[in-house]
Structure 1
Amino acid sequence: MIPPNSSLVKYDNPVLVSRNTEKKTPKSRPLKVNSTSPQPGSGPVPTPPGKKLPPVDAKNNQQTDEILNSILPPREWTENGQLWVQQVSSTPATRLDVVNQQEELDRRLQQRQARETGICPVRRELYSQCFDELIRQVTINCAERGLLLLRVRDEIRMTIAAYQTLYESSVAFGMRKALQAEQGKADMEKKIAELEQDKRDLERQVNELKARCEQIEKRAAELRQVEEKKHSEELQFLKRTNAQLKNQLEGIIAPNKK
């Protein structure tokens, strides 16, 4: 028989359970226990002659076993086609058992190299098993107190699950934002490169236009100088012509006066 993974929770000895492959009605029991030892609640145990057993409340014991099985379900595993079931122990724990459990917890924490601080799945698993064992011990002595601790355990687990979901959501949100930022960064870098290229093109166009403007201004200055020179020559020519005509006119008018 291959035992299941060890746990800090105390269990009874495994019991072999055989599967009945015959066709059953929906109300029939799916499993049949093969065990030579009498099971709890299977029938009265004969009392040896001359001895008296202490009074035991069988109904309370059965109710406690049911509560224990509901809080800590039996473990099941298969070996060679056979199903083995191991139920949680209903034996009360002594003070020595608690001390041994504490030492076993410390030993397993050191053996599995659990982290002392921060998030550690190994440390969480071992402390969860230790808490389940404490619930088992308390439930045997007081079922109501055990059920109350069960509520506390479930609330803690729901809180941890909620924090874990929140953490995973925040990590996914952060990764999504990081990818968006990377994509946005690439887009911005591409846009910056395009704008820089446009700037260089505009600067080239400005330089070309400045060169054309200088050429036009130079050509206009040259044309203006030519026109001014031509105008000056024409003016001088007209002045000379005017002077000649004036002299001719004076020469014509002077003899007539005599």
Structure 2
Amino acid sequence: MTERILAQADTLVKYDNPVLQTQQPDKKKEEIGDTGGPTRPKCAPPSADVRREVEEILNAILPPKEWEEDGQAWRQQVSTTPATRLDVISLQEQLDMRLHQRQARETGICPIRRQLYTQCFDEIIRQVTINCAERGLLLLRVRDELKMTMEAYQTLYISSVAFGMRKALLSEQGKADLESNVERLKDEKASLERQLIEQRSKAELAERRFAEQTATSERKHNEEITLLKKTNLQLKSQLEGIIAPKKG
């Protein structure tokens, strides 16, 4: 297969050079000798079997990258080269450098910082898996558990934000309804106050009219009494004038 050397992608995980995907050779040719007769397949050395097993585990943990370019299919898988102490130091330096270059936040929620630390963790899993596949698989379980927990917290955060937004909208709607109700009650109060003033004015006017009518009635009554008394005195004096000669 054709290979080409590319610059390291924007990731902390170490990959091999991409290889061009071509048609795999016929496996039957490997089983047939020069004379055309079947031959016994050669057994691979144990180191090759272990290397193949490590590659399979690494490809399962960190799937190879596949893409098409200029009509050709390329494939790039993680490196199976064991890491040295210098590689670990270089990984730490690259992590710090990229955190600084991409201006990742030191605290709080930061997608950039999370992405870089995830890549760093994947690279550590790769390095550990090459030396001990079981330890690498255990680290994979830890990574998946942390990822699942993070996604659960993210889902809970999104749902809580949505719940808070719904409550805020309901409260705003309730506040608007209460304000509308307050305005309506204020209008009703003003209307009732106007009606009260009108009724008080009518009551005062009615009381004045009643007082005037009462005073007029009393005056007329007094005048009638005075007139009747005067008439009574006149009649009395006339009656006395009539009766007095007869007595004489």
Match runs of 1:123-162 below 5 Å: 123-162=113-152
Alpha-carbon offset, residue 196 of structure 1: 1.4
Which of 150, 170, 187 aligns to 2:160? It is 170
Which of 2, 12, 15 aligns to 1:8? It is 12
Counterpart for residue 57 of structure 2: 67
Unaligned runs of 5+ in 2: 26-40
Letter in 1 for 2:220: K
Letter in 1 for 2:130: I
Letter in 1 for 2:11: S
Give me the CA root mean square deviation. Answer: 2.3
Alpha-carbon offset, residue 117 of structure 1: 1.0
Which of 209, 217, 221 aligns to 2:199? It is 209
Judge conservation of contact 1:15–1:33 (CA < 8 Å) in 2: no
Which of 199, 215, 224 aligns to 1:225? It is 215
Q: Deviations over 1:174-225 (max 9, x none)?
A: 2222222222222222222222111111111111111111111111111111
The separation in 2 between residues aligned to 1:183 and 1:33, in whole angstroms, is 67
Which of 219, 230, 236 aligns to 1:246? It is 236
Range that drifts further, 139-148 or 57-66: 57-66
Question: Which of the pair is proportionally richer in helix?
Answer: 2
Q: Deviations over 1:11-70 (max 9, x none)?
A: 11111125xxxxxxxxxxxxx459xxxxxxxx9699xxxxxxxx7433332222211111
Q: Does 1:236 align with 2:226?
A: yes
Letter in 2 for 1:14: P
What is the percent sequence identity of the aligned residues?
62
Alpha-carbon offset, residue 119 of structure 1: 0.8
Counterpart for residue 109 of structure 1: 99
The separation in 1 between residues aligned to 2:66 and 2:210, in whole angstroms, is 105
The separation in 2 between residues aligned to 1:209 and 1:255, in whole angstroms, is 69
Unaligned runs of 5+ in 1: 19-31, 35-42, 47-54
Q: Does 1:81 align with 2:64?
A: no
The separation in 2 between residues aligned to 1:63 and 1:5, in whole angstroms, is 25
Judge conservation of contact 1:114–1:122 (CA < 8 Å) in 2: yes
Q: Deviations over 1:127-153 (max 9, x none)?
A: 000000111111111111111111110
Letter in 2 for 1:225: A
Instruction: Give the paired residue count.
Output: 229
Letter in 2 for 1:71: I
Alpha-carbon offset, residue 88 of structure 1: 1.1
3-state DSSP of counterpart to 2:104:
coil
Q: Deviations over 1:98-141 (max 9, x none)?
A: 00110011111111111111111011000000000111111111
Identify the structure with bigger relative contact order (alpha carbons < 8 Å, sequence gap 6+): 1
Which of 17, 22, 28 aligns to 2:21? It is 17
Alpha-carbon offset, residue 236 of structure 1: 1.0
Judge conservation of contact 1:92–1:137 (CA < 8 Å) in 2: yes
Runs of 4+ in 1 over 6 A off after TM superposition: 1-4, 43-46
Letter in 2 for 1:105: L
Letter in 1 for 2:151: A
The separation in 2 between residues aligned to 1:152 and 1:103, in whole angstroms, is 24
Alpha-carbon offset, residue 168 of structure 1: 1.2
Range that drifts further, 248-257 or 106-115: 248-257
Alpha-carbon offset, residue 162 of structure 1: 0.9
Letter in 2 for 1:112: R
